[in-house]
Amino acid sequence: MKKLYPLQFADTADMCILDDGKKSETELALEEKKIKFSSSCTEDSFIAKGFLAGNTLDEVIETYLGNLLGDKIFEYYRGIFPLQIKIHRFNKMSPVFVSPNNEVARERFGCWGKERFWYVADVKKGAQIFMGFKKEMTARSFFDYASKHHLKDAMNEIEPEIGESFYIAPGTPFCAGGGVTIIEVAQNSPIELDLTDDGQIGEAMDFLNYQFYTPEYKMPEECSFRVEKVMLKSEEIISPEDSDSFIIYVGLSGKAKITAEKEYSAGQSDIVLIPQELNEFHFTPDSENPVFLRIYMAPVKEEKDSYMNYEEQEDHRHHNHNDHCDGECDCHHNDS
């Protein structure tokens, strides 16, 4: 079995490049259009280049198991890719969303809950983020605001700045719009309830955080994943084998090269998945001080969460209550 390599993703199977070195219309399309990665439906996550081109991320996991994810992560998550990574470009205000924690999600939906990390990649004049309640609420007061579609009036309003980051805990309502670009890292869960939809308000009322909420700018230690901002000033030699996790790089600015037998480029908005089995790779600047997000999983428990209904999760991972777009924003979060 051939050894894995850094993986990039295409929008569809028709946008894959094999190792023949030929320039095709497909390749030109990839050069013109930034590749985006999301693991929300990994059966549609097509590998873009190399001998695995045309295969989905699901198929690669089925073949390489813990060599891709890390043995403990593969076992704990039962072979399901544990993260979603999306790039949202909110040109209009999105609906107000909320997701439950693991306990509520597994009891009600048979899947994982959803905690999030937001990184503000770009801001235009008038951009806004709303997050949590600016005063203590009750179920009645929440319902009054939500049923009248004035929920944002009760929420903290933030004028985002480039480079800011936020941790959004389960149970915290949030929305964004007006020209903000967000890189989102989240648990791989389909459960997002739309609090502007009268039919979904009641579903969320028993797990909402009604307390006065201070926006969290740092990730808590108990978060299931880690995100670091890296400015690459000189070459780094990194060994994923030293940890039990794959690594994902998201380009924020500049360019870099990832060398693992072959050379791979990574630039702004590119997302590259580094398999856990790589002995080491060289991460080298290809412009002045490129900046990336580095994402990996926190150490997992020794025992699997036996309460999870993984058969139901397989069904739910193909269904999302609400896509962030919902016609309200120009998001780039293709399933790949």
Tell which wins on pLDDT, 243 or 318: 243
**302 in a domain, yes or no?**
yes
Average pLDDT over residues 241-265: 93
Average pLDDT over residues 322-334: 40
Give Cα 52 distance to the centre of its chain.
22
The answer to whether 336 and 37 have CB atoms below 8 angstroms apart is yes
**326 in a domain, yes or no?**
no
Helices of type H across 57-155 = 57-64, 66-69, 71-76, 102-108, 139-147
**211 in a domain, yes or no?**
yes
Average pLDDT over residues 245-259: 96
Does the pLDDT value for residue 256 go beyond 90? yes
| Cα-Cα-Cα-Cα dihedral sign, residues 260, 59, 310, 191 | positive
**305 in a domain, yes or no?**
yes
* Residue showing tokens 């979060």: 333
Query: pTM of the predicted model, to two decimals?
Result: 0.81
CATH code for the domain of 145: 2.60.120.10
Roughly how many angstroms between the first and final C-alpha of the chain, as a whole number? 23
**323 in a domain, yes or no?**
no
56-105 per-position pLDDT tens digit: 888 999 999 999 999 999 999 989 899 988 889 999 999 999 999 999 99
Number of domains in the chain: 1
The residue range of the domain holding 114 is: 83-224+298-316
**21 in a domain, yes or no?**
no
Q: Using DSSP bridges, classify how beta strands 174-177 and 116-123 pair: parallel, antiparallel or unpaired.
A: unpaired
Counting runs of H as helices and runs of E as strands, what totals does the chain give? 8, 19
Give Cα 142 distance to the centre of its chain.
28
**273 in a domain, yes or no?**
no
197-226 per-position pLDDT tens digit: 999 999 999 999 999 999 999 899 999 999
The answer to whether 131 and 154 have CB atoms below 8 angstroms apart is no
**201 in a domain, yes or no?**
yes
